[in-house]
Amino acid sequence: MSVGYKGDSVFSTPSADFTPVLKIKDNSSVVLRFTTPLSDFTGALVHYPKTHEGKTRMYVCLNQRGGTNDCPLCEMGDKQKPQVAAVVINREPESLDAEVAVFTFGKMVADQLRGLEEDYDSSVDNYDVKISTKGSMLTKKYTAITMAKYTYPMSEKDIELASSISLDNFYTLKTRQQILDEVNGVQADIGSLPF
């Protein structure tokens, strides 16, 4: 799924719609412009199970509003986690990086962005934000700070970049059977699962 590390970030491409997704490398930082206020971000409850191929994949939990309420991952005891997605402009793109991408994150980053909006009395699309990571995997901590004491609006080019990515279909629901096939391998049927 991922296409490799470039600079401080790695972009991976979900097969569904080829939207570039920003992942921040361990112990590094990126400077981003969120292209909408926090209140306009999208979100979903998601799972990150390991598939039979040993890959970690993201699935939208089927047990939530708009879902089909037959989530096999919840049944397997995998914990659903709230995730937020926002379109961001990468202020320090390496030559091969996408300039605009979707950034997904959890409650820790969302709370910090909410704090920035309160501190600046201005929504996060009005200033650049530096996101740093410390540690990796389960101990990975994110810190969001702003680079400047003043706010300034997005440029025309920023606005054009932002409009090139839509979050409308970012969280797509798979069917229960699709999830089971991908997680367990297409040969498995429901009767062979260990529960």
Give the footprint of Zn ion on this chain (CB under 5 A): 61, 63, 71, 73-74, 80
Min. distance of Cβ 103 from Zn ion in angstroms? 23
CB-wise, 28 or 63, nearer to Zn ion? 63
CB-wise, 73 or 89, nearer to Zn ion? 73
The pairing of beta strand 21-24 with beta strand 100-105: parallel
Q: How far apart are CA 32 and CA 100, in angstroms?
A: 9
> Please, is 67 exposed, middle or buried when counting C-beta atoms within 10 Å of its C-beta (0-12, 13-18, 19+)?
middle
Min. distance of Cβ 63 from Zn ion in angstroms? 5
CB-wise, 70 or 94, nearer to Zn ion? 70
Min. distance of Cβ 84 from Zn ion in angstroms? 17
C-beta of residue 90 within 8 angstroms of C-beta of residue 7 = no
CB-wise, 126 or 184, nearer to Zn ion? 184
Min. distance of Cβ 64 from Zn ion in angstroms? 8
Q: How far apart are CA 104 and CA 98, in angstroms?
A: 15
